[in-house]
Structure 1
């Protein structure tokens, strides 16, 4: 390609020439596609999208289960100058209708299972758009000219927030006027720290519509490696796939890591995990006890990074750093970290405040200029409302989301700190710490827990959990009560839907 650095990441058209039979995407239940096949299918789909009227700057929406067509659709958009919007396939037709109305896609790639909801959502949104069904795509593409496109331009991602505090917001990343072969490295410093290259076999067990799985699908295939995808997460099956596919890189969220660690030791020992070079966790803070258990089991290969769909900044913590500074999410890889109080005054190390990143691109929420404005201050720093502190050496420690801070008796309580303590109790499988209405304190700290298999709900256990916190936390942070639920609402990537947990308590109080 003219002007292309041969050492830089490229895209399937180049890998199809240099390693055509190398697997680009492997489904753990059997189907797979090579770079030759991916190049052929994505090029033809790009031409089909052009024939259907999609032009540079338009949006391609993907509403799919984890399956091979993800890569075809993603690369068709990324080589045609489109915004590629991976959408949550579990949304109801009404919810999906809002998102489709917001991004107004020129085309949608979906599946037979998802098509009825997509068709209803399109009608709700009042759109006229082309709906392409994955199971019918091969036959349709055979009739499309397979010649290379002469005017390929790099596309961009349009990611949607999970909508945990309202309707999902679209986050459009800059559309660059480049050929796809000249794309700049994505997450370059993080990819370098994790050693992802053309030899990588990267297992992504989460749904591809979430930011991290989607982004790593893109990154690994830019580099010419292999992505292995699970149709759905199952802890023991994941270990089988690591052994069977000789996986080198595994990405999990803390919820998945906890479920892996809670498998019986004889089940974990049954599988050969020696191919693993890196296990990386993200998506939610990893409790220090959980990280310590993972390092003891897997060895010094567990990495963690912190960032957001908005791309506002990024940190990374190596296995050694995690051992030396339990609880940190690392130092900045992208941007410069600042922590301020509510008035914007910068705080010294050790004090909790709002996290900002300097030196990064502005965050822009599609169709919401007010939210975009609030995400940036007059110094050009960017925030998404997360709270935390840095130590003297610049390592970041998270305290939670600003909107989830509990103000109890005029004192701030950060739920993440209390949750980490409760997660370490052997009877607790999952936990959400929330503020509930209280006549005296305004808000009282309350823990909502899901118990491990074998643990039995009882007043004695609730007292034991409160006592557990009493030994480890200051008095104002301790839960004043514990409620047990069958399960806590989480997204498939492990993000806790805390507003859903809080809502019944506040509704009962008439708030």
Structure 2
């Protein structure tokens, strides 16, 4: 057996024997865990060796302990390698949403203070247009599976910058300086304003075993298991999932882009056991024809974990009916990590709940004005304390904002919700989305949930717009299912029938598609901008 163990793994994990079950139920020969992306397969040892070589290359470009470097890349093996390189030199990776471009990308590159950016060659022009002076660009080749997934043709290196492969080939692996999996700077999605960079402290060596243990329980990751990564690795939840999976020595399969049937195919082919998803993926899979869904063997799945966006009780019930009671949910934030957790039985017993505190975490509901604790059933601002061992954080360049969102060690990411009598947490809306119309507080999420039940509605966004008489009034942007015939009056009448009349949207617009990112988060900011006249 090839020698295992990288310096960013804990001793207990790096020495653990990785075994894979044979089709007959016994134990097959000892094998190395691998990383798959498309048809490419590398052992995890090779991936970590390449990461250590890339780390040496980054050092040659001036990146050292505490320095940051950005990643503008789609899902593939090199993304994982570029992220893991940070641990070998004590640097900090900054994954960027490659969809951004424009001012959001420019803000991330400047605000993060990144010395280097590693970018897929077809995205180089977008980076060049926003790169601050002195930023060093490293090109990464676009692999075949990424080009195919995104319909890219004849993508080649520009040749203007050093390539990632050149850096790997030129350097010997560096000796690591930390044994913790890298938790990079994650920029918030910027759904209501400019993205904020969440800079997390390093995990102390003494806290790492406890953090890994909690992660194994909450993320359902096990050493030697088979994990599938279908969500964008630039997002906090799938990024953390990938880093811990690598640290635990798991077999990792990366999807360049989510496709519902391809997901089922990969589960069957690689006997996937654990996967982290978002509710929009559930919706797409549930829309597959019944005969397609039933044609794949998904019995290997032991855990489907979801987070990042709300999941309706109806959707969760349908997924549990399909896959069995292996569906888990957690809630938290980039800032504080996961801190409430819910299994299938709890979800069915408490429809709509996102979980209750676990692994040393805690949650409080405070009055939005007074900051006083609120009783069960009363909505207020959600404040959470992370699981044991989760590192503290600050916002890059905005320590005041960090202090502003904390009360007695509890952090809020701006969500509104309530606890039931059993301690389960329910989300009702975001503080920034609350509409005050004629002095009345209105929570758009309630109206969105209502309209999602209207036949023919695929997606909906409700938000406040300027109103001379009432300060704000409600607008609803609606995306319909193909062929659906829904009118403005249908929308208004449905809300009036099910909710109070003051919650009926004054403006109703039908859009071809609502602006959501790959994790399902809605960019209401883009819709609101349509109603604000330039100064």
Q: Same fold (TM over 0.5)?
A: yes
Matched, 1:218 2:243: yes
Residue 439 of structure 1, CA deviation: 4.5
Q: How does 1:343-354 map to 2 (within 5 A)?
A: 343-354=370-381
Q: Which residue of the partner structure matches residue 426 of structure 1?
A: 455
2:418 is the alignment partner of 1:409: no
Alignment-derived partner of residue 374 in structure 1: 404
Residues 69 and 117 in structure 2, CA contact (< 8 A), matched pair in contact too: yes
Q: SS state of the match for residue 364, structure 1?
A: strand
> Counterpart of 1:253?
278
In the other structure, the counterpart of 2:475 is 446
Structure 2 residue 522 is matched with structure 1 residue 496? yes
Aligned counterpart in structure 2 of residue 54 of structure 1, from 55, 63, 80:
63
Deviations 1:358-396 (A, max 9, x none): 47765411101221121113x332212111011112111
Q: Offset at 1:475?
A: 3.7
**CA distance change for structure 1 residues 323 and 266 in 2, over 3 Å: closer, same or farther?**
same
Gaps of 5+ in 1: none
The alignment's C-alpha RMSD in Å is: 2.9
1:388 aligned onto 2:402: no
Alignment of 1:301 with 2:326, yes or no, is yes
SS for the counterpart of 1:171 is: strand
State the 1:113 CA deviation.
1.3
Partner residue in 1 for 2:32: 22
Counterpart pick for 2:44 among 30, 35, 40: 35
Q: Identify the residue that residue 105 of structure 1 maps to in structure 2.
A: 114
Question: How many aligned residue pairs are there?
Answer: 495
Name the SS of the counterpart of 1:113 in structure 2.
helix
- The aligned counterpart of 1:170 is 197
Asked if 1 retains the 8 angstrom alpha-carbon contact of 2:118 and 2:164, the reply is no
Post-superposition shift, 1:260?
Answer: 1.4
Q: What is the Cα deviation at residue 97 of structure 1?
A: 2.5
CA distance in 2, matches of 1:222, 1:160: 23
Q: Per the alignment, in what secondary structure is the counterpart of residue 463 of structure 1?
A: helix
- Runs of 4+ displaced beyond 6 Å: 1-5
Aligned to 1:127: 134
Paired position in structure 1 for 2:146? none
Q: String of CA shifts for 1:309-355, please: whole Å, max 9, x gaps.
A: 11255211110011001000010125321111122111111111111
- Matched residue SS, 2:130: helix
- Alignment of 1:191 onto 2:216: yes
Q: TM-score, normalised by structure 1?
A: 0.88
CA–CA separation in structure 2 for the residues paired with 1:315 and 1:401 = 17
For the 8 Å contact 2:226–2:250, the answer to whether it is kept is: yes
Of 263, 266, 269, 1:238 maps to 263
Counterpart of 1:269 in structure 2 is 294
8 Å Cα contact 1:362/1:376 also seen in 2? no
Alpha-carbon distance in structure 1 between the residues aligned to 2:284 and 2:177: 47
Q: Which of 264-273 and 317-326 deviates more?
A: 264-273
Partner of 2:101: 92
In structure 2, do the counterparts of structure 1 residues 193 and 207 end up closer, same or farther at CA, with 3 Å as the change threshold?
Answer: closer
TM-score (norm: length of structure 2)? 0.85
Confirm or deny: 8 A CA contact 1:82 1:156 kept in the other structure: no
Cα pair 1:363 1:382 within 8 Å, conserved: no
In the TM superposition, what is the alpha-carbon distance from 1:172 to its structure 2 partner? 0.6
Shift of 1:151: 4.2
Structure 1 residue 91: deviation in Å?
2.4
Q: How far, CA to CA, are the matches of 2:213 and 2:449 in structure 1?
A: 31
Q: Secondary structure at the match of 2:79?
A: helix
Q: Is the 8 A contact 2:451 2:460 kept in 1?
A: yes
Shift of 1:193: 4.3
- Alpha-carbon separation, structure 2, partners of 1:291 and 1:161: 26
For 2:80 and 2:15, the matched residues in 1 are separated by 12
Give the match for residue 364 of structure 2: 338
Does residue 347 of structure 2 align to residue 322 of structure 1?
Answer: yes
1:298 and 1:359 map into 2 onto residues whose CA distance is 29
Per-residue deviation, 1:404: 0.2
User: For the residues of structure 1 that align with 2:532 and 2:501, how far apart are their CA atoms?
Assistant: 23
Distance in 2 of aligned mates of 1:94 and 1:189:
37
Confirm or deny: 8 A CA contact 1:63 1:86 kept in the other structure: yes
